[in-house]
Structures are given as C-alpha cells and as structure tokens.
Amino acid sequence: MNIAKKITLLFAILSAIIISLLSGFVWYFSNEFAFEDFYKRLEARVNITAQIRLSEDKSDNIYAKVRNQYLERLPDEKEFVIEKRELDKNTINSDLPEGFFNTINAGKVARHRKENQFYAGKSFISNQKTYIIIVSANDPVGFRELKDLQKILIAGFFLSVVLSFVVGWKFSNYMLNPLRNVIKSVKKIKAENLHLRLDVKQGTDEMSQLAQTFNNMLNRLETAFETQNNFISNASHELRTPLTIISGEVELAMRAETDIKKQQKALTKIKDEAERLEHILTSLLGLAQSGFNGKNQPWEQVRVDELIWEVQQTVNQVHPESKIEVDFSILPEDESLITIKANKNLLKLAITNIVSNACKYSNNKTVFITLLSKLNVISIAVKDQGIGIPQGDVQHVFEPFYRASNTSQFKGYGVGLPLSLNIIRLHRGSIGVSSQEQIGTEIKVLLPLK
C-alpha cells in the first residue's frame, strides 16, 4: 500500500471516529433534553390535578372549567389520583419501576419514560391523607423528532466518512505530488549525468529541504566521482612510470650478460624504482584509509600543543637538518581551549606531512609553527621561506599526485597534502594555502573545538 492510500485510509478512520463521537454526544444530549419541556408540562398538570381533585373550594370548579377550556389535553393523557394506603401500581401500569414510587414517597417529583409513554408523579397531603397523583401522556412530536435526528446522524455519519475519504485522497495526492516529482527527477539522474540537479522552490518547508538535501548529496557524489576518476588516472600514470623503467632496465640487464657494471647499474636502477613504487603504493593506501568515516578508529582528547611538539620531534628525526620554531606565546591558560577530540595518529600524520613539506621545499630554512585558539576554533599556521607555489598551481596542490611546476628538483609523489586534506576534513576542519613564488608558503589548518 502506497503512502497516499495509507494517508487517505488513516484520514478516513480518524474522521469516522471524530464524527461518531460528535454524533454520540449530539444524540446523548438531545435524548436527555428533548423531553424536558414535555416533562415540565406533565408536572404542571400534576399540580393542576391536585388543585382540582383534592380541594373543596368552589372556586376550584371554575378553575377546572378554565383548565379544560384553555389548557390543551396531551395525546393519550391520563390522570391517576390514589390514596397512598390504597396504592396498587397495577391499577396504573405494571411496568412502572419501584424507584419511581420510591422517589414519590421521598417527597420528590418522579419521572419515567417507556418508549413514547411519559409519566410524572408527586405526593400531596389533603385532609390528613396522603395522595399520589400521576399524569401520563404521549409525546409523538418529540419522539418523532428524536427518530428523525437519529436518521440524520446516521446518514450524516456515512456521508461524512465518504466525503472525508474523497477529501483525504485529494489532500494526500496534493501533498505528495512534490515528493513524486522529486522521485521522478532522482530516477533520471545516473552516473553519466550527475551534473543534473533538482528544482528547489523558495521556502523552508520539508519538500524544499528534501530537494536541497538531495542536491547537496549529488554535489558530494559528483565531487567523489570526479576525484575518483582523477585519482585512478593519476595513480595509473604514476604506477606505469616506474614499472616501465623497471621493464626497460631488466631488458638492458639481460642483454649485457658479460658486462657486470651495466648489470649492476641496471639492478640498482630497478631497486630504486621498486622502492619508489613501494612508496607510491604506501601513499595510495594512506589516501584510501583516510577516506573512512572515523567510526572504526580510536578517538580521544588531544592537546594540540603537545601534538605540535611530537610533530616537531618526528620531522627532526626524519630530517635532522631541518629548523622548526614553535610559537605558543598567545595560547590561552585554559587547556580545554586547546584540546579537541581527534584521531591522534591520523592528525599527527596530517600535520607532519605539512611541516615536512615546508622543511623540504625551503631547503631547510627556518619553518615557523604558530598555534592560536579563538572563537571555538584552533588555528595551526605553518609558514616557510621556500620556493613558494606558482599562482596557477595553488588550486591543484590538493589533487592526488599533482606536483607544482617548480618542484622537479625535489623528490616527492604529490600525495602528502591530499592525504592531510582528507584527514583534516575527517576532523571537520579546513586547510587554507597562501603562497608567493620565491618568497614562501603559509598553510593554515583550522580545527573546531567541538
């Protein structure tokens, strides 16, 4: 069952429940108050009957004539005047309940209805005797109105349920039509046309948010596909080069069977290219692992200042000739302002790559690391005095295996910064690059405290 049918059915059921409750209330209160006026008319006749039948005043005869002349008789109206000691309810009606007479004996006005036959009774004292006067009559008009109301309520109930079903069906189709349009548009989007986007209408309703969410997801998918294509293309190129060299050197070594020096040179070249190939594969593995969602890796509270000291030590071990100056002069005293929840090993790897590049491309001139905590953001700035990055190459430095045009004399594979970027994004941070050729480069890492 689709959502439209479920909404329609639910709407019809809820409407039926509400209408039935409303009809029940109307019927109950109509049944309670419809005959109130008729009961009052019977009670008035009980009092008049007592006045006429139990009084010896002659003026009451005149009163009886006026009553007969001007007070209409009710349908099937009957009067019963019985002395209490001679009371036999069978003389009145055998179906009158015992409670009816108990109410009269208690000095109150008693009422009773059986279908369309109404009774009203009361006790009176005359000449030291107690009499019970009961008046009964039919109320065909009120009873008929109640029956008509019952028919109207039943007919209205079924008509309202049918109407609510139709309205619910129209309403559900109207509300779900934008969702159907979204589904129809999403079905048209495939791997070969990821550039297509959904139409987002102005507003903040859920459908607009859903369309915008799909568009954001498509943006990420398109970026991921492009990155993957570029990654595969660059990886294929980088892997093919050492493999080609290795194949060529093997052929040379096989040809120079009697020349030991040529064979030794070829084997040395094969060893170097094999090591290069190993480095490329290790870097590829690092790039792949840095794309995980972080849920399967340990996260802990990390003090960023202590992490910087560890990075400095690591870089100095790998590049003993490097010079690194760390500036913590403007750090806050509260250690919580320099502590973040992070994957320590990955974050250390990302910062180490950035600092190591700064040392390498500045020919081991002094590299400055500045740590700053402000507005719930930790800033790590790494500034060198190296060769810089050409303006046209800055936007590509985070692409896997891309190397700036002025780095040919430096050994590298173009995977350090892309790996760092993936790790920083994993920590919901960002990286900014500012560079000027032959002056130096500054890379700033921003990490949220929470």
What is the per-residue DSSP string for 279-314?
A: HHHHHHHHHHHTTS-STTS--EEEEHHHHHHHHHHH
pLDDT at 193: 77
In tens digits, the chain (450 residues) has pLDDT values of: 677 778 888 888 888 899 889 888 888 888 777 778 888 888 888 888 887 777 665 455 655 665 665 567 788 888 888 887 666 555 565 578 888 888 888 888 998 888 888 899 998 888 778 888 888 888 887 778 888 888 888 898 889 888 888 888 888 888 778 778 888 888 888 777 777 777 777 777 777 888 888 888 888 777 677 666 656 655 665 566 567 777 887 887 777 777 778 778 878 878 877 876 776 666 566 555 555 454 555 788 999 999 999 999 888 887 788 899 999 888 888 888 889 998 887 788 889 889 988 998 888 889 999 999 988 899 999 999 988 888 888 888 887 777 787 777 777 767 778 878 888 888 889 999 998 888 899 999 999 987
pLDDT at 231: 60
* Helices 260-289 + 416-426 axis angle, to 10: 20
pLDDT at 370: 94
Fold adopted by 300-448: Heat Shock Protein 90 (3.30.565)
> What whole-number distance in Å separates Cα of residue 182 and Cα of residue 189?
11
Fold adopted by 206-289: Helix Hairpins (1.10.287)
What is the sign, positive or negative, of the torsion defined by CA atoms of 94, 98, 100, 102?
Answer: positive
Burial pattern 111-145, b for ≥16 Cβ within 10 A else e, equals bbeeebbbbbbbbbeeeeeebbbbbbbbbeebbee
pLDDT at 55: 67
* Among 345, 378, 421, CA closest to 369: 378
**Residue 381 in contact with residue 372, Cβ under 8 Å?**
yes
What is the sign, positive or negative, of the torsion defined by CA atoms of 61, 67, 70, 76?
Answer: negative
What is the sign, positive or negative, of the torsion defined by CA atoms of 51, 57, 59, 64?
Answer: positive
For CATH 3.30.450, list the domain ranges present in the chain.
Answer: 36-138
Amino acid letter at 91?
T
We find that the CATH architecture of domain 36-138 is: 2-Layer Sandwich (3.30)
For CATH 3.30.565.10, list the domain ranges present in the chain.
Answer: 300-448
> What whole-number distance in Å separates Cα of residue 136 and Cα of residue 110?
12
> What whole-number distance in Å separates Cα of residue 415 and Cα of residue 231?
10
**Residue 405 in contact with residue 344, Cβ under 8 Å?**
no
pTM summary value: 0.47
Amino acid letter at 373?
S
Radius of gyration of the chain (CA): 49
